[in-house]
Structure 1
Amino acid sequence: MDLYRFPFDIQRCNLTLQSSAHSVQELTINTLYGSEWLTLESKQTFQAQGEWELLSINMINCNATFIWAVKNQLIYQITIKRRPLLYLINFMLPIFFFLVLDVTSFFIDANEADKLSFKVTLLLSISVMLLILNMTLPSTADKIPLIGVYCSVIFSLIGISILETILVNFLMVRAAERRSVASVETTSAVTGRDDSVRDLQCPPDSVRDQNEEQSSTLGLLKQILSECRAATQQNQREKTSLCWTRVARIINVNFLILYIITIIVFLCVLGKVWGLY
């Protein structure tokens, strides 16, 4: 069986009638009716509405040359077509819906951990469908059927999207760590400044002379300088955090556009090879 275009495949079976004892001079096999009448009568007789649909029955009358004699042959070529509705409902549509859900998952917040688990669930679902498909297809195919290519490519696309989600989550976590470090340093700097100002506003009674006042002023200047330095470092960390976030968003948007274009091109090429249009 040729299962390359499964489940939209068309199979042809030949039934050959030939005498094993008489040559063409002794016996000639002819048909009583033509191919059109035989096809029409066979369709009316073929009442079982199963997996296959009878398309046509053609007849070929020819002579076959053997070593000892030339014999007459009558070949019936039966053409049948598989009804694909069952496989469309059970395999192709669910896998396509999984792919649509994977595309819509890009609109989930990248900071959410549920996004990655959702994509992994989709990947596991398609792997189960591949196992069922492997048990359904007969093992007589010479090359990989298109439905296997369809499932494998979608499985690979979702796997690549999971890797992209992991990368985006990593960048988002780095940005959140930068923001948390900057906020902690800002809080500690403000606390130290308040303590210094409080000490200067309420000096002890023993501090009276000019040298101690100059040292207090010098300490205040050092505190202001350290605060400016901390503010500068905080701005740098915030810029770095925004840079990580911006890179993550750019990667996510560009990957989504490329992902949708790849899906459309793949489905169009596969549909053309499959003969759907």
Structure 2
Amino acid sequence: MFLHWLIFALVLMGRVSDAKACNSTQYGDARIKLWKHLGLEDNNSQDDRMWPLMNNYKYNPYYGNKPAKTYVGIYVTSITNVDEKAQSLSTQVKMITVWLNRKMKWNPNKFCQIKTFAAPKNMFWTPDIGIMESIKTEFGTKESPNVLLRSSGFTVSTDILSMTTACKMNLYRFPFDTQICSITLQSTVYSDQEIKIDTLSKAQLDKNHIINKSKEIFQSQGEWDLINITTRNHITDDDLERRKMDQLIYKITIKRRPLLYVINIIIPVFFFLVLDLISFFVDSSAAEKLSFKVTLLLSVSVMLLILNNTLPSTGTDIPLIGVFCGATFCLIGISILETIFVNYLKIKGAKKRSVETTAAVTGQDYCVIDQQNPPDSVRDQNEEQSCTPNKIFTECRQKTPLYWTRVARIIDVTFLVLYMITIIVFMSVLWVLLRQSKYLK
């Protein structure tokens, strides 16, 4: 009994060894034999290998013609550019297209274990799959002139594409935003009754194959991180031809690295606001303080120009960073107006003090008092106590400038308190909106 099993195993090993033991001459002969077996030497028989829709499936009277399956896998190798103003995404992808042609099958045991065979692409039918969002698409290096034939009957076409696709972006959370861009694959001619497009991961029975492979070969380490790639099928109506077209939609999720914008825009603008707040505690001349605040205002305006060159002019929502810089510009502007008004009151009091000092030196009465007909208040005081005109003049001279100085100080302190409260409330509201937009998305 065991002898029979041993003989069977030896015969099986002998067959495998004979099949694999091919020298270079035998291997070359096997390739020529396979070339003839597939009918590649005869261009008149291209129908069999160029039109798998006709020979893969037979007509079923109950369900009609079964569409030919085409599997497409897109692997993102790099993100070259994201243009927020143009709302476009530039990527380099590896696109693998696989379809079944039963006429192109062979038994590897008969051809020195040849399981794959490269042949010119122009000798085969290839699916006319286009990218609907494409603005510009070109081959990354060079169009592959060949396709890869597998012994199981599958034909594989591999292309490296550099493409720019339209992508509708929501920049409300810029630069902490996450964008989702679509790549829609659709045949330009064949309907859903002829071609069915499906993802390559389903053929490999691995849902995470595309994203795992993309992260493995991802080369770019720039501003954007590749987060996820999902797929879904969709049937769309062609109004012109009055038929339905099958679509395979790739959803590419990318996330921006915000460190550059935080260092170059957010932190400087925040420190401009802090410096404007601290300037209230600086005891310096009015001209120096005013020039300092105007310099801060010009610095914020430079940041606004940088944002204007980055963000699109049209959008459904105003980016929060634009609100932050715009509100900071307005707060510093209001602070400058308050400083001008307070300085005006202080100058007004200083002028009155200088005039009174001049009047005291020249002997003129700044408080114009009629010696013959003094005011009622002075007359009442004279009745209670003796009051000379020099004493009345001295009290008036002291109270008038101090009144404007006191008003200026009260306005300055009140504005400082309101200014601090406004900044705290504004920052808190901005933070809440940023967090809410993250969860809502």
Calculate the TM-score normalised by the size of structure 2: 0.51
Aligned to 1:13: 181
Q: Read off the aligned partner of 1:82 and give its amino acid letter.
A: R
Shift of 1:232: 1.2
Aligned positions of 1:194-205 closer than 5 A: none
Is 1:121 paired with 2:281?
Answer: no
Answer whether contact 1:35 1:57 (CA < 8 A) is retained: no
Is 1:44 paired with 2:216?
Answer: yes
| Alpha-carbon displacement from aligned partner over 1:141-160 (angstroms, at most 9, x marks no partner) | 45432222211111111010
Measure, in 1, the Cα distance between the counterparts of 2:388 and 2:358: 15
Answer whether contact 1:178 1:238 (CA < 8 A) is retained: no
Aligned to 1:87: 261
Q: Read off the aligned partner of 2:181 and give its amino acid letter.
A: C
Aligned to 2:416: 256
Measure, in 1, the Cα distance between the counterparts of 2:395 and 2:351: 14
Q: Secondary structure, in 3 states, of the residue corresponding to 2:231?
A: strand
Aligned to 1:181: 355
Is 1:162 paired with 2:331?
Answer: no
Aligned to 2:397: 237
Q: Secondary structure, in 3 states, of the residue corresponding to 1:113?
A: helix
Gaps of 5+ in 1: 191-226
Measure, in 1, the Cα distance between the counterparts of 2:295 and 2:391: 45
Q: Percent identity?
A: 56
Shift of 1:18: 1.7
Q: Read off the aligned partner of 2:237 and give its amino acid letter.
A: T
Measure, in 2, the Cα distance between the counterparts of 1:47 and 1:35: 22
Shift of 1:106: 0.3
Measure, in 2, the Cα distance between the counterparts of 1:105 and 1:31: 62
Answer whether contact 1:4 1:141 (CA < 8 A) is retained: no
Q: Secondary structure, in 3 states, of the residue corresponding to 1:29?
A: strand
Change (3 A) 1:188 1:35: farther
Shift of 1:188: 4.2
Aligned to 2:78: none
Aligned to 1:99: 273
Shift of 1:181: 2.9
Gaps of 5+ in 2: 1-168, 365-386
Measure, in 2, the Cα distance between the counterparts of 1:228 and 1:109: 39
Higher relative CO (Cα under 8 Å, sequence separation at least 6) belongs to: 1
Q: Read off the aligned partner of 1:5 and give its amino acid letter.
A: R
Measure, in 1, the Cα distance between the counterparts of 2:355 and 2:314: 62
Change (3 A) 1:10 1:239: same
Measure, in 2, the Cα distance between the counterparts of 1:236 and 1:37: 90
Aligned to 1:208: none
Which protein is bigger by CA-based radius of gyration? 2
Measure, in 2, the Cα distance between the counterparts of 1:56 and 1:35: 12
Is 1:70 paired with 2:244?
Answer: yes
- The structure with the largest helix share of the pair is 1
Shift of 1:189: 4.5
Shift of 1:138: 4.1
Shift of 1:140: 5.4
Measure, in 2, the Cα distance between the counterparts of 1:32 and 1:3: 32
- The structure with the largest strand share of the pair is 2
Measure, in 2, the Cα distance between the counterparts of 1:23 and 1:128: 54
Shift of 1:268: 1.5
Q: Read off the aligned partner of 2:394 and give its amino acid letter.
A: Q
Shift of 1:97: 0.7
Measure, in 2, the Cα distance between the counterparts of 1:273 and 1:46: 33
Aligned to 1:30: 198
Q: Read off the aligned partner of 2:271 and give its amino acid letter.
A: F
Calculate the TM-score normalised by the size of structure 1: 0.79
